[in-house]
Amino acid sequence: DQQVKQNSPSLSVQEGRISILNCDYTNSMFDYFLWYKKYPAEGPTFLISISSIKDKNEDGRFTVFLNKSAKHLSLHIVPSQPGDSAVYFCAAKNSGGSNYKLTFGKGTLLTVNP
Amino acid sequence: DAGVTQSPTHLIKTRGQQVTLRCSPISGHKSVSWYQQVLGQGPQFIFQYYEKEERGRGNFPDRFSARQFPNYSSELNVNALLLGDSALYLCASSLLGVNPTSNQPQHFGDGTRLSIL
């Protein structure tokens, strides 16, 4: 049972344009969400997070939006740069649980073309 | 500052063997988690340790075990290796207290690539 879903395996955008990566979740107990970026042969790098008490969080070129009623979040990258080309993972956590387990989606491969 | 370090980076084993993977967390981080990532999937939670105690376990068989040392480093052990254990094993550390409601991101190492022949 996939509790965190990234339905787009890949996304291609032009340099300078906006990249929008989407993530859906089914577990209503999730209340903390994170985005990670992963280059080949490296571990995931933390990008940005959002708590369920907010609907938007911004950090430089990266903005995460959370729609709790739709159980949907998205990551916006503006403007996109070729160095942003990587696999992006959405992850979620239940803060009311007994541990710090993160549940990940399968990832979306973003390619930013020069 | 050094990030999460894992060793070895690559490992080749045969079925039935045992393997130990090592992880050193970011300085000051007391919580360590282990994840398994197979090709085409996101990381899957295996274990979480805090202050040398197991605080969580994912849906993995008893062949998987781990421990955390007084310096907060950690080892993941896998016995009786199967072909399906071939994966990237990731260690993550976080600046967390006892309360899991504290929302701090987990920071990952580059992983150990384990191949089973």
- For the record, the structure tokens of B38 come out as 């197979």
Which of A24, A2, A32, A10 has the alpha carbon at shortest distance from A88? A10
Q: Are B72 and B49 in contact (CB under 8 A)?
A: no
- pLDDT tens for chain B, 117 residues: list them: 679 999 999 999 999 999 999 999 999 898 999 999 999 899 999 999 988 889 889 999 999 999 999 999 999 999 999 999 999 999 999 886 556 556 788 999 999 999 999
Residue B72 structure tokens: 């907060």
Quick: pLDDT tens for A12-27. 999 999 999 999 999 9
Model pLDDT for residues A49-106, shown as the tens digit of each residue: 999 999 999 999 999 999 999 999 999 999 999 999 999 999 999 887 766 789 999 9
Q: How far apart are CA A39 and CA A109, in angstroms?
A: 10
Cβ pairs A/B, distance under 8 A: 73
**Residue numbers in A near B51 (CB within 8 A):** none
Contact call for B107 and A46, based on CB within 8 A: yes
Q: Backbone phi, then psi, for A96, in 5-degree steps?
A: -85, -5
* CB atoms A36 and B40 under 8 Å: no
Over residues A33-45, mean pLDDT: 94
The shortest C-alpha distance from B80 to chain A (Å) reads 25
Of B43, B103, B111, the CB nearest to A104: B43
User: Please, are residues A67 and A56 in contact by the beta-carbon 8 Å criterion?
Assistant: no
Q: Return the pLDDT at B11.
A: 96
- The answer to whether residues A44 and B90 touch, using CB atoms and an 8 Å cutoff, is yes
At residue B24, the pLDDT reads 97
